[in-house]
Amino acid sequence: MPDALRHPLLFLLAFTFLIAAPAQAQDSDELGDALSSIGETYADSYTQPVTDALGADLNAGLFRTAEVGGEGVIPVVGVYVGVAGMGAFTSGSASSFAPQDETITTDDGRTLDITYGPDRVPTAFGDESSPGQATISDRDPRTPDETVDLPRGLLNTPVAPLAVPQIGAGTVLGTDAQLRYLPETSISDYGSVSMFGLSVRHSLSQYIPLSPINLAVQGTWQNLSVSGNEEPNSGKIIDASGWVLNAQISKSVPVAPITVYGGLQYEKFGVDVGYTFQTDAGTSTVSLNQDD
């Protein structure tokens, strides 16, 4: 194997090992714990900033140039190996919301009324102090009320980062492909995160003789999942997937290693959130959809 290819591959393997290793030692699962004692409406508002950030991260960093086949470490084969680092600003995301009392039906058919005490509570990207409590009342008068602590914010940060290994290969008839893959990796305050994505890009400038700029179009499908590690939410909690279509343009400066690039992008992104509500009052399976 040529040295030019060996070193990026070793870097990718080392990076994957480093981010995956904590998954075996890290048992933190605060997102699953946070959802286990709140109703669907509360959970929708609480997790919305997380899914917004995941959507922004997921669809970022798909290209750095519109030159198809010009990034390869092997000039003929055109192989690219690297890590895409993304960060979504959270300043525009809601840090708190006004909870609305709600009703939940348990798996055994009982009806529970949830009364939230505070006027405002944090989202997952909000204040990390305890916001107060909720009262859960069974409509069966023989069952006493239960008081539960409401979830605090999990991550109060201006940027929600994500790093994903990716491999690109081409070209065939002016077309290349890119694979993104993140094995199940434990991330503090969330749970275990995994990702898979596939992009196909085609050069348009190849049809324009002596074109002074590079033009290309690209289509991408990606999926990202957040899973819990502990009961009652030990399975998949957030399942986000979407597709992207973009048009790219770039121009390289011959006298310097500089490439100016830009593009127009259309995105479709959907998120399914599913968790188990479980308190002494009862257990209920909750699912909701957050489409972009």
- What pLDDT does residue 77 have? 66
pLDDT at 2: 38
Digits of tens for pLDDT over the chain (292 positions)?
Answer: 333 333 333 333 333 333 333 333 333 447 888 999 999 999 999 999 888 887 777 888 888 888 886 544 454 567 888 888 777 777 777 899 999 999 999 999 999 999 999 999 999 888 888 899 999 999 988 889 999 999 999 877 777 777 888 898 888 888 999 999 988 887 765 678 899 999 999 999 999 988 999 999 999 999 999 888 888 888 899 999 999 999 999 998 877 788 899 999 999 888 999 999 998 888 999 999 987 6
Written as one string, the DSSP assignment of the chain is: --HHHHHHHHHHHHHHHHHHTHHHH----HHHHHHTTS-HHHHHHHHHHHHHHHHHHHTS-S-S-S-TT-S-SSTTT-EEEEEEEEEEE-TTS-SEE----EEEE-TTS-EEEEEE-SS-EE-TTS--S---EEEEEESSTTSPPEEEEPP--S---SEEEEEEEEEEEEEETTEEEEEEEEEEEEETTTEEEEEEEEEEEEESGGGSTT-SSEEEEEEEEEEEEEE-SBTTB-SEEEEEEEEEEEEEEEEEETTTTEEEEEEEEEEEEEEEEEEEEEETTEEEEEEEEEE-
Position 25 scores a pLDDT of 34
Residue 170 has a pLDDT of 80
pLDDT at 61: 82
pLDDT at position 158, please?
79
Q: What local confidence, expressed as pLDDT, does residue 117 receive?
A: 92
pLDDT at 21 (0 to 100): 36
